[in-house]
Structure 1
Amino acid sequence: MVETAPTRHLGAQISHMLKARGVDVIFGIPGVHNIEMYRGVEEAGIIHVLARHEQGAGFMADGYARASGKPGVAYVITGPGLCNIMTPMGQAYSDSVPLLVLSSCLDETVARRGQLHQMIDQAGAAACVCDWSFEARTPGAAFALIDRALTEFVSQRPRPKHLQIPIGLLGADAEACWDDLYLPGYARPLPIPEQVETAAEALKAARRPLFVFGGGACGAVQAARDVLRLSRASSFCTYAGRGIVAADDTLYFGAYLARPDSAAIFAQADLVLQVGTDMAEVDLWRDALGHTCETIHVNLDAEVLARGKGTDQRIHADSLEFLKALGGRLKDHVPQTTWFEEDVAKTRARWRAEVESERPGILPVLDALRDITPPETMIYSDMTQIAYTALETWPMDWPGHWHHPYGFGTLGYAVPAAIGGAVARPGLPTLAIAGDYGFQYTLQELGTAVELGLPLPIVVWDNAKLKEIEDAMVRAQIAPNAVVAQNPDFCALARAYGAHATLPGTLDEMRMAVRAAFEADRPTLIHVRPGLA
């Protein structure tokens, strides 16, 4: 048990409590309204990472959570501090990231107007972009709500939480009464054996079974691969699920779900199993998969299960536990599926060619990047055409190593999230990929990366415009406008922050620059323009 003083200011008690719960790093920015939260940070032995903007702090905490598997925690001030981190909260909500935001709040907002950082309904504003947003009005409530958040992160679908604490309460003495609250050992739901048996029998009887694995199945790699081997089923992965299926699996269709004619593949299936996926708009970009056969849904989220058709089988369970149980019922099965490896290979090759024709010049850059990127690299990308191309074509060795702002789709994610990821995995490679426009949303976080001495390659893809938006305007027969902006000298800007920077003129120079950046003593901006050869 961690020794605690009988009383401390509540702000200090919270830091000690978080440390006792396994929180080692907090991202944030101190201000006059939340300085009491900082009283106990160093004393508790927590590392604090100072962001340049609360949006950056939120993305850093998000990236840290995705890389470490632990909750990302951020401290922000009342009013604008919380508003600034709401975009990362929305992103964490759409991507199921365990993010805990702790903010201060005014002691009273009804009778007094004109106070510093005042909002009409601060908790209500945050509630729009997270799982829950509450105000703790006693020390006991603050401790209980922190434990509730940490418990829900591991026992159900992880989504961001916000807890606000009045300024006066943060500075008041509080007893260390949080030791007896925490009840570890919560587990996610196990599948009902009868449902597993029914699914196994359906899979054994199927001749063209087809799996779709989503981000919710990232912790079930070996179990998923065992089931595919034992059943000889074909499969797709969503963007978030890439790496669950081995890239060289000869019956794997890849992450090409959004190809319009993937619907024709699903139309051939006689059983579809959707494991750990919402099948959201950003996974599919059409209204339906294209199948008419029996469907089995496996998910932690009852809301997702409720979307199934009346005849679908819906299994409320952890993906790993379901796939392990399913594999156990297939060990003596002799599969007689009729998927053909050569057909799968031809389909994947055709889809890759389509991607190359839609966004010419990007695939050679990505192939060159992958050549020199260690397989254990954690990659963070932004909303940019080079990332959209990679999400379909870059084969992953294992899941949870490419992170992208999939659902909320915010710009400015890659660099601060990569900083959080690098903090979570010292000594292991991390790579950021951003577009020229999105990079400028959070480029100030270069200062944080330099302060931390992170060997972080930051590839900035500079096509000198909002190319995806321009292409969309052309398709909609709108004369392109407001898609070109004056870019700065990115290399000079990076050097002004103290980072390394380079403008490669060839693919070989880019390879050398990225390789050197992984070994550098600070971040390196690698300014990449189209046309490299």
Structure 2
Amino acid sequence: MKTVGHALTEGLRARGVDVVFGIPGVHTIELYRGLSGSGIRHVTPRHEQGAGFMADGYARVSGKPGVAFVITGPGLTNALTAMAQAKADSVPMLVISGVNRRASLGQGLGLLHELPDQAGLVRALCPSFQVTSPDTLDRCLNMAFAAMLGGRPGPVHIEVPTDVMGMHAAEAAAPIAVRIAPPAPEQVQQAAGLLNRAKRVVILAGGGARHAGAAVQALAEALDAPVVQTTNGRGVIAGPLSVAASPSLEAVRMLIAGADQLLAIGTELGPTDYDMYVRGGLPDMEGMIRIDLCPLQLARHPLAIGLRADAAAACAALSAQVTARKSDGAARAATAMAAARAEVADLGAEMPNQIAMLEALRNAVPGAIVVGDSTQPVYAGNLLYSHDRAGGWFNAATGFGALGFAPGAAVGAALATDARVFCLIGDGGLQFSPAELRVAVDEGLDITYLVWNNAGYGEIAAAMRAANTEVIGCTPSPLGLEAFAAACGMDYACIRPEPEAMAGAVTEPGPRLVEIRAY
């Protein structure tokens, strides 16, 4: 008999899902029954939060939704942190959980894994749909994929009551295709008119542009416009128009202020990218043209024209109507990058050295993916670092900022690509999710874990000192990383925090752990 569990798996497969991350439990056995013979690969994390982070990393690299199976109650609440990170960074993630039998919901009977209102808890963060009977399954899947892919991406939850999972299900209906409407032609014409009249265009590219690199590059070259890339937009273009530096830096703000037309593509304009020092003083951007999938985003800031559209489609439409020109775009970009480097150097000697280490990694292994956690070299790179692959530099150090993100996200990234993957994490962040390294061994993944070991929460300690506050709670003892690597079944190396050492340490394939001893 085909059950709801079988039909759910078939529905996922029909919508292009080929990997599921999850930990089975008594509340999801019927969901797992459907995985057998489905062609979907199952990967077992060591914690449901890890399942969510893996789904996140997979989605960022593949461009497809990442999917996690979790049990009701603690399984879902464990995954909520990862779902919140995906919400902040606009990452499509589908979390499918069990829930107790329908007649018990809200009754407070003390069932295993019971929550007063599981769906209500999730709806504070993202859409949640319940499969109330077999004939509602297709509708729930269609609504979930429409929510993830029909506008601004993000997490979505589906819950299946335990008494529904094993019910007989009919053949699944064909999925409803999710299509995003093209940009309105009259708005494209108006925006192109503004761009054609401008002399000094500057483009701001965020995470929404990470899968639109070719279209953004073509438009930037036609406009001879420098492209400022936020953390999640790094690598979206290459060449002399690239400004791979944070708009929180004064040098980049001066570039923005000097523009006579701004074009913002897929960027939230959030303070962790645009004002990380909480100084205020952003340039006036009220006359910008903005491209975004989310109508709420387009309504949050004053603008001249808002194009609700996919980044690639909107850039291609604009490229067809702008007049190509050649002026001083490359010179403006070069001036901004040189001034940004000088500004970062004034922050102290450590930060330029950390950036040089990242550049040594990039040069030693071109086209790699670097998944970061909240740690000092990642903060440095977010300020100023030019990656060579669109979507190949991402981390949890902006937006929601979840520590322990990177080990799981690196697993998901590695399953979505044949490229080398590097996980850059601090010794403190590693202890949030240490067991997920073993998943890389189980799955035979080419991941090198680069652990910045400063024997504590170094960045937090520095912030406390800067605030004239006694440093308390910032010195958790680090793992013995050589012994830990051995326990995980990984090769191990230890290097000094120097560019030359980094270049020599990253050529061997993973799974591998490299300790960067920074104390």
- Is TM-score (shorter-chain normalized) higher than 0.5? yes
Equivalent residue for 1:167?
A: 162
Within-5 A mapping of 1:66-215: 66-107=60-101, 108-130=104-126, 132-176=127-171, 178-180=172-174, 182-184=175-177, 186-215=178-207
Equivalent residue in structure 2 for 1:480, among 455, 464, 471: 471
Corresponding letter in the other structure for 1:214: G
Gap change, CA 1:78 and 1:348, over 3 Å in 2: same
In structure 1, what is the Cα distance between the partners aligned to 2:43 and 2:385?
31
Q: State whether structure 2 residue 248 is matched by structure 1 residue 253.
A: no
SS in 2 for 1:179: coil
Q: Does the CA-based 8 Å contact 2:81-2:402 persist in structure 1?
A: yes
RMSD, aligned α-carbons: 2.1
Contact in 1 for aligned 2:200/2:261 (Cα 8 Å) = yes
1:25–1:293 Cα change, 3 Å: closer
Is the partner of 2:176 in helix, strand or coil? coil
Secondary structure of residue in 2 paired with 1:362: helix
What is the deviation of 1:423? 1.4
- Which residue of structure 2 aligns with residue 347 of structure 1? 339
After superposition, give the CA deviation of every residue in 1:240-277 in whole Å (9 maximum; x if it has no partner): 1111221x31x443222111453333222221111111
1:2-26 deviation per Cα after TM superposition (whole angstroms, max 9, x unaligned): xxxxx41211221122122221111
Relative to structure 2, which stretch is displaced further, 34-43 or 81-90? Answer: 34-43
Residues 323-351 of structure 1: per-residue CA shift (max 9 Å, x gap): 112111224x4455688446335324323
**CA distance in structure 2 between the aligned counterparts of 1:301 and 1:16, rounded to whole angstroms:** 30
Aligned partner (choices 217, 221, 234) of residue 242 of structure 1:
234
What does 1:305-320 align with in structure 2 at a 5 Å threshold? 305-309=298-302, 312-320=304-312
Checking the alignment, whether the CA contact within 8 Å between 1:268 and 1:291 is kept in structure 2 is no
Contact 2:60 2:391 (8 Å CA) reproduced: yes
Match of 1:468 among 459, 467, 472: 459
Moved more, 334-343 or 275-284: 334-343
Determine if contact 1:269/1:291 at 8 Å carries over to the other structure.
no
Q: In structure 2, how many angstroms separate the alpha carbons of the residues matched to 1:412 and 1:26?
A: 20
Evaluate the alpha carbon distance shift between residue 334 and residue 68 of structure 1 in structure 2; reply closer, same or farther with a 3 A threshold. closer
Deviation track 1:203-232 (CA, whole Å, cap 9, x = no partner) reads 222222211111112232222222222222
Q: Alpha-carbon deviation of 1:352?
A: 4.2
1:380 aligns with 2:371: yes
Are the aligned partners of 2:108 and 2:116 in contact in 1 as well (CA < 8 Å)?
Answer: no
Distance 1:101 1:338 in 2: 44
> Is 1:135–1:164's contact at 8 Å kept on the other side of the alignment?
yes
Of 283, 289, 302 in structure 1, the residue corresponding to residue 282 of structure 2 is 289
CA distance in 1 between counterparts of 2:450 and 2:344 reads 22
Greater mean alpha carbon deviation, residues 80-89 or residues 207-216: 207-216
Q: Secondary structure at the match of 2:423?
A: strand
Alignment CA distance shift 1:143-1:355 (3 Å)? farther
The reply on whether 1:528 has 2:510 as its aligned counterpart is: no
Pairing 1:228–2:220 present:
yes
Which one of the candidate residues 14, 18, 28 is aligned to 1:34? 28
The residue matched to 1:191 in structure 2 has which SS? coil
Gap runs ≥5 in structure 2: none
Equivalenced residue count is 511
Residue by residue, what CA displacement relative to the aligned partner does 1:163-214 show, whole Å, maximum 9, x if unpaired?
11111111222222x224x122x32232222222222221222222211111
Per mean C-alpha deviation after superposition, the further-off stretch among 278-287 and 467-476 is 278-287
Counterpart contact for 1:75–1:103, Cα < 8 Å: yes
User: d(CA) in 2 for partners of 1:305 and 1:292?
Assistant: 13
Q: Distance in 1 between matches of 2:56 and 2:286?
A: 38
Q: Post-superposition shift, 1:93?
A: 0.8
SS in 2 for 1:36: helix
Q: Tell me the CA shift for residue 145 of structure 1.
A: 0.9
- After alignment, is 458-467 or 16-25 more displaced? 16-25
1:437, distance to aligned residue in structure 2 (A)? 0.4
TM-score (normalised: structure 2): 0.93
Whether the aligned pair in 2 keeps the contact of 1:253 and 1:347 (CA below 8 Å) is no
Deviates more, 1:154-163 or 1:54-63: 154-163
Letter of the structure 1 residue corresponding to residue 53 of structure 2: F
1:454 to 439, 445, 454: 445
In the TM superposition, what is the alpha-carbon distance from 1:505 to its structure 2 partner? Answer: 4.6
Maintained 8 Å contact 2:203/2:265: yes
Q: Is the 8 A contact 2:226 2:329 kept in 1?
A: no
| CA 368–137 in structure 1, closer or farther in 2 if over 3 Å, else same | same
1:454 maps to a residue whose letter is L
Q: Would you say the 8 A contact 1:356–1:362 is kept in 2? A: no
Distance 1:293 1:75 in 2: 43
Aligned AA for 1:70?
K
1:413-432 to 2 correspondences below 5 Å? 413-425=405-417, 427-432=418-423
Instruction: Tell me the alpha carbon deviations over residues 124-175 of structure 1, each in whole angstroms, 9 at most, x when there is no partner.
Output: 1122232x01222111222211122223333222111001111111122222
Deviates more, 1:158-167 or 1:285-294: 285-294
Deviates more, 1:113-122 or 1:359-368: 359-368
How much has 1:368 moved relative to structure 2? 2.8
Percent of paired sites with the same residue:
35
